[in-house]
Chains A and B, each alone.
Chain A
Amino acid sequence: MRISAFFVGLSAAALVAVPISASAAPTEEATSKTELPYTLSIKGANGIAETDAQIPEGTTPLALTGEITSTYTTPGTINVSINGRSAATVDSRTGGRIDIPLTQADVTEFGVPIGLTTRLESDKNCFAEDNAIASLVSASLAYQLAAPEGITSIGDFLSSGIPQFTVVVPTAASTDAQSAGLNAVAALSHSYGPPTQVSLVSTDSPGEAGFLSRQVRIVEQDATSDTSDSGDSDSPQPSNTISVDQSVMTITGAGTGLTDAAAALSNPDIAAITTNTASNITDELIYQPSPLDTTLSGLNAAPVHLEGIGTQTVELAINQPSFGSSLDSVEIDVTGAMTELPTGGQGRVDFLWNDELIDSIPMGMASTISNTLKVPSEQLRRTNDFGISLSYAPPGGECSPKPLGARADIDISTTRVLADDGDSLPPGFGRFPQVFSSAVPVTYLNNGPTTADLSATANLIASLERNWPLQHTYSIISPEDFTKSGTSGIAVGNPDEQNSPAVFTQAPLSSTTDATMLSSDGASVALTSDAPYAFLQAYLSDDDRNIIMLGTHSAGNEAQALTARDELAAYVNSNKAGWAVLTNQVVTKLPGAPIETLTIAQPAPPQSLGPYILATSIVLGLLAVLLLAWLWRRPRGTAPIRPGDAASS
């Protein structure tokens, strides 16, 4: 299933390259290329990695090209497999280019499976290549295009491997239609993931669509007009209709019917429709975050079998967005089994969290694995790798000739993952999208959205929805309703000191605040008031809502500032990692300048005076007591006769 493929090894996503034809106008060529969703890498003498490369249905794969880089030093080979067959071999020490011819037989329902393994000569040192890495870089899968006429159904239209989707919303669209557009972006971005690019344009002249750059057009229907196929005016009006004409899909409807249809584009049932029209599509999007008490299988982890000699490692993703909320801590009750350690052998099973060791079990006579691993808040990130590593050296300590290996299995159905709600991450980009609830409000602060506002918002949403297991629905509401909603959301525009609700003027970058920005090296950055720039910031409002704000500082040149803003939003969407490319709390862009990531210098929290007052009170009290005692103390010895006493006596 195309969605599940993204869960395995998601943490290894490399942020290289830009998807092909991300923002270019669609071109009709005989062939095209696609990249792998992430860089395929293996580590150690027993490394194995697999992925599926997506190509559009109806196309024919032609070749897989790329280069294998390697840091191995042991003689052997690095092997590339295609759909299980050994397709290319390079020297393990030198790596090399690959050019693998492909056929239709290499395509499965999940795409073109590509694997990378290594086969090294036996080395007496069981751990000789533990840190060696081989990667398939610059991988590109070329395929023969099919004719757009071949797209005859909704299922064909929503086939896998489409490099680009453009959602088209009319310029005079209502809020419902605009919301539908945003939800179409969300659904497609969520469904396809990298390297597919999804964007939105607000125009009445959308231009040509193509086989590789398909369009989803939102058409708002008058609720009284008859859109039913039967033409019978007495039939109940469909709430929405999806129809496909080659490379263009049209979603027609009114009100929330539009949004329902748009959001449903990620539904596998929709992708299975074999007709070119469907109506009354309800939003069956099931927002099902993982419960806080779940198992590894509940998090869609692949079975964990570690076997062999030396070190074998597998990494499982335990990501906060999977739970649909921010987490404060995670506890993993690991259950499994491992082989007993033969006499003279050495072995252990290590548990790592984001490459930090959190526990280790020495192999011994017992074969059961039963450990409770506690991950504290400070080690919890948005995306986390739970690593399980088996290290084994046979009796004698030599691994040549290759002896019998050890094995450790983790039972993913009984290994519990217990998470606690909370905030392990400071306010900023890292809290998204897990702080969103299923419905995300979007608001425009300056009487928007304009067509550019909508496009920029769509870029943000596309990046937010990429790579995560949960899809959110988005609705455009007024700033006042946004305030009342009490939920985290997205704001586009510049808060007005006089008129905007406080939840927006509280933003670190706003006309009412004077935040100190810090660059990545901690230096203070002054955002000048005399130059236009755009900003994207993520902050925590005073009422504990996490808000994303995309805005500008025009400095008298609004056009430039808006251009910078649109470039900033496009940048966020252009990365395979999507939103995860953002760090800290603020990114700014000056026209013509690169993106700058900034941190807001947090003001020191107001110090509690309690300890100071207590300490002062104690000190003063002691001094007072000492003073009182001193005031009445007399020196030792006989007191001299007091003046006047002798005279009066």
Chain B
Amino acid sequence: MSIRRFFPLLVPALFACGGGSSGSSRTSVVDSRDEYDPRSLDPALSTDVPTGRAVAYVFDGLTRFTPDAAVVPGLARSWDLSADGLTYTFHLRTGVKFHDGRPFTASNVLHSFQRVLDPATKGGRGWPLYPVKGAEDYAGGKQKGLDAVVVRDDSTVLITLKEPLAIFPKLLAMPVASIVPDNVPKNFGEHPIGTGPWKFLEWRHDDYLKFAKNASYFDGPPKMDTLTARIFPERSTAAAEYEAGNIDILNVPEQESRTWEADESKKARLQSAPALRFWYVGINTTRGPLSDVRVRQALNYAVDVPTLLNRLLSGRGDLAAGVIPLTLAGADKSRKSYPHDLSKAKQLLSAAGHPTGVDLELWVSQTPPFPKVAETIQANLAEAGIRVKIVQRDASSMREASRKGNTDLVLKEWYADYPDAENFLFPLLHSVNKGVGGNISFYSNSEFDRIVTASHREQDDAKRAELYTQADQIAFNDAPMIFLFFYRDLYAVQPWIQGFKVPAVFNAQRWTDVTMSKK
């Protein structure tokens, strides 16, 4: 579907022209990051990125993320944790009103969580609330009430977990845990009412969403009057709109970053930031020769990641030596990634009893630049005697096959929902998450599992980071994946925009501090 692969021919011409002025005549600040129409504006249905972004504008959770990945109070002023690590007491803000004027109270928290978990909602994303005691049974219809969430008074709510989970406040900042008013109407997904900094104004499907400032927002109203989120299925079109001055920020397409960086006037407007996005090749550790750690390590030694990163992604990434992005606590920055070493790869293959190499299938989606990355990996592996057949499928077929365990190798990326190493270690590699949970490597290492489980209970940040580092080291040695790189975002921000920060998590930029200088 995408035409991006044809675009490089045109790019130099396109960006050789056009200049910037320092002000805009628009009054609305315009975002361009959404690539498709949100699923809904109902927090309970927020399973995709555009939905999550919009929900973060209209709603608040008990906690929220700052653009640089800190977790700060949202509708909760503060919270305490019981000595056994099980019960959180959230002290809520008072005087907060929903956009329709109704007051926000503690019972909204209980009802919002029940609504997300209620099978009738058909949202499909209850897991961020499953740590709450009885939540999973409630979602499965095995339990009537959600008695682990207790409304003590209008401004206090107690939440008891089934097991201690130190990162629970981070889960509450996810879009799905947003607080909605009681008795929402049937068309809530298209007419959302929250407490957030922006009130919903208009949604033209596949075109744009529009929001107006909530002048009485408890954390200080946004500095601009309106916010428009335009939807661009083709990022090259967004780039043209940026050139025309019609949008305020642009997620610069990878193949265009070099051109932008080479242009002095544009370079000044670029913001680069490490994203919590991990590119890897999932290795199914249960299939044939791949069950041998030496074969999996050989795969890692055979791929020349630096060259791949440089040539195909304009260098927009940092080499991965493990699954924890370098900006998160627990990442071991001194650990070196697998070097490109063909003789080492061949030696490991021989030692594993495959002196003549192995035959594998590498699955990849059709979204650029993934197919090209797969071809490069195929060529790299061929040099080490590993014969790879590329299976190109649409993302949905690929997801299904890899979750069923029907693939040898899968090239994909993983986005963080919340800024914590656990969001990479646990879903991608813990044995309870095999298949649909995210562990498409079907990796199972009891020592790894034990450390990650222990990290869930560890309340001390420094000690927890230490556990993350240990688990990551185990995974690195076991090589249940080819560790590629952590993606770097590159944004262009118009010269008239002040206060925009590239967010580490997709729903962490709420545009409240952004201002525009007028023409």
Q: Do these two chains interact?
A: no
